[in-house]
Amino acid sequence: LHEIKTALLFNRYNIKERHGKGVLVTSVNEIRGLRFKYLFLGGMVDGEFPTRYQPAIFFSGEHRKRRDERRHLLEERYRFYQAMCVPEKCLYVTYPLKGDKKELTESSFVTDLEKLFYVENKSENDFKNFIGSKEELFKAFGKSELEDPSGLLNSDEISEAIKIDSLRKNEAFAESPYTGYINENISNEAKNKLLSFKKREFSASQLEEYAKCPFRYFVNRVLSLETIEEPTEEIEAFEIGSLVHSIFYKFYSEIHKKGIELNGCSDKEFKDAEKLLFKIAEEKVNKIKFVSPASFFEREKIFGINGKKENSILYHFLLTERESEEGFIPEYFEYAFGNIANKSPVSSIEFDGIKLRGKVDRIDLNKNDKTFKVVDYKLGGKKPSKDDLSKGISLQLPLYMYASKILIQAEHNEEYYPFAAEIYSLKLTQKDFGRKTISISSSRKMDHDERIEMNENIVKIAIESIVKYVNLIASGDFRLSQLEGRETKVCVYCEFKSICRIQEVS
């Protein structure tokens, strides 16, 4: 195998191409004996062509002979000579002046060539007024640098294209089919497809995507375009999130059976709960098999940095649960509604004919004053802003409050009221870990009734926004994002940036 690998270094490999068709990009070895009208030799720098001689210290005797320095230079010269015999009209020789922050030296072959032949140097000034393609002709005509090139182009067609391009740049958000408002001049089949969206089930993430950028929703959800992602050995955030969710779900199912309440529990009950939680986590993690070095720190965060349980997500979670003093008891876990629901008393959630689906991580009840909390676990721990809630851009927690109220009423045959919706941050820092309550009020102190009224208002805003978004989707309104601060909120992480026109209008 070693001998074969060594021999491969000195052999040529043929590329199958249709001779005389298009542009052939290949190595110098591959053009021996061929004829082309034009030949471009790029990268003519010292060390690249001719390549540097490297002594074959570790090769066997047979291969070492082939690597003689003099023979190496002769072979490189002959390859260059063969390349010069290929072009019938012109030979273009190019070399970069700089690379990797250092100046490069032109090949000795170029120096020798200039001594033997008359060489004409070309610069971009030689091609300043040169039109070499149809695209360049379009551009020149569009800039009004040319008169109507009669006989070459359809000037009416080009004028219309210029008009459309001008509309997209100067009136990027107008109601026009060229700006993403596609309800005009489309087939009945396309209209019916858009109308069918009203019959679909929507998740909060889908509707939030439309709220932030209708064009992104169109590309992703209507056209179903996908981007090619690089594979990674690291565990994705959503995978860690799913793992932690499943650990907490099984943990609470077990302590409910044992009648343990973490809120204000004794030291013995806390130790029992700790032992149970870490045991469940160990079983779950071992099934996934964290084997790559990249996943080591993720495991550390779950079980404890440097092997200390006190520095783990699990231990911080138990402490936070124990210190809760508002009288709420965790009652429902992983409550799903819509077509993903399983054995739920309320499988369908809808309003105005709009069907919704989702899964609530946790619902806590206070049976004394008939109120509930919606709890959503997040690894990052960032809660939605007051502005996003007020404008109907953040929809997940408001939708979960709406669905939870229906579920609780079906289960208890009593009406419960939304006291809070919380992001449960699992970010392993002292200031970030724990519960973060969403709000649209500027007041830090609210009484019991004011909090319920505010949360019902949040739900109302979300419902009105969802109805608006679904109607806009069905009507074919997929214009660019008009969200304030869209560059940092939406565009910066968008995988469809390369096919979006937002950079032209920003």
Question: For the segment 149-169, what is each residue's pLDDT rounded down to a tens digit?
Answer: 555 566 677 778 878 888 888
- Average pLDDT score, the chain: 84
Q: Which of 73, 493, 430, 491 is nearest to 504 (CA)?
A: 491
DSSP annotation string for 307-336: G-GGGSHHHHHHHHHHH--S--EEEEEEEE
End-to-end CA distance of the chain: 58
The pLDDT of residue 148 is above 60? no
Predicted pLDDT of residue 167: 87
Task: Please give the pLDDT value at position 150.
Answer: 53
Q: pLDDT tens across 374-420, in order?
A: 999 988 768 899 999 999 999 999 999 999 999 999 889 999 999 99
- Three-state SS across 164-205? HHHHHHHCCCCCCCCCCECCCCCCHHHHHHHHHHHHCEEEHH
Give the pLDDT confidence score for residue 464 in this predicted structure.
96
Residues 6+ apart with CB under 8 A from 240: 298, 379
Closest CA to 395 of 469, 452, 447: 469
3-state secondary structure (DSSP) of residue 344: coil
**Stretch among 37-51, 73-87, 279-293, 449-463 having the lowest mean pLDDT:** 279-293
Model pLDDT, residue 504 = 79
211-250 pLDDT, tens digit per residue, is 999 999 999 999 999 887 766 555 555 677 788 888 999 9
In this model, does residue 7 exceed pLDDT 90?
no
Q: Would you place residue 135 in the very low, low, confident or very high pLDDT band (cuts 50, 70, 90)?
A: confident
- The model's pTM is 0.69
Within 10 A of 70 (CB to CB), how many other CB atoms are there?
8
Helix axes 237-258, 267-288, angle to 10 degrees: 140
Nearest to 324 by CA among 420, 204, 180: 420
The confidence band for 304, taking pLDDT boundaries of 50, 70 and 90, is confident
Cis status, amide bond into 50, omega within 30 of 0: yes
Nearest to 290 by CA among 305, 276, 280, 300: 300
What pLDDT does 120 receive?
A: 80
Q: Which range has highest mean pLDDT (8-22, 368-382, 454-468, 492-506)?
A: 454-468
- pLDDT at residue number 13: 59
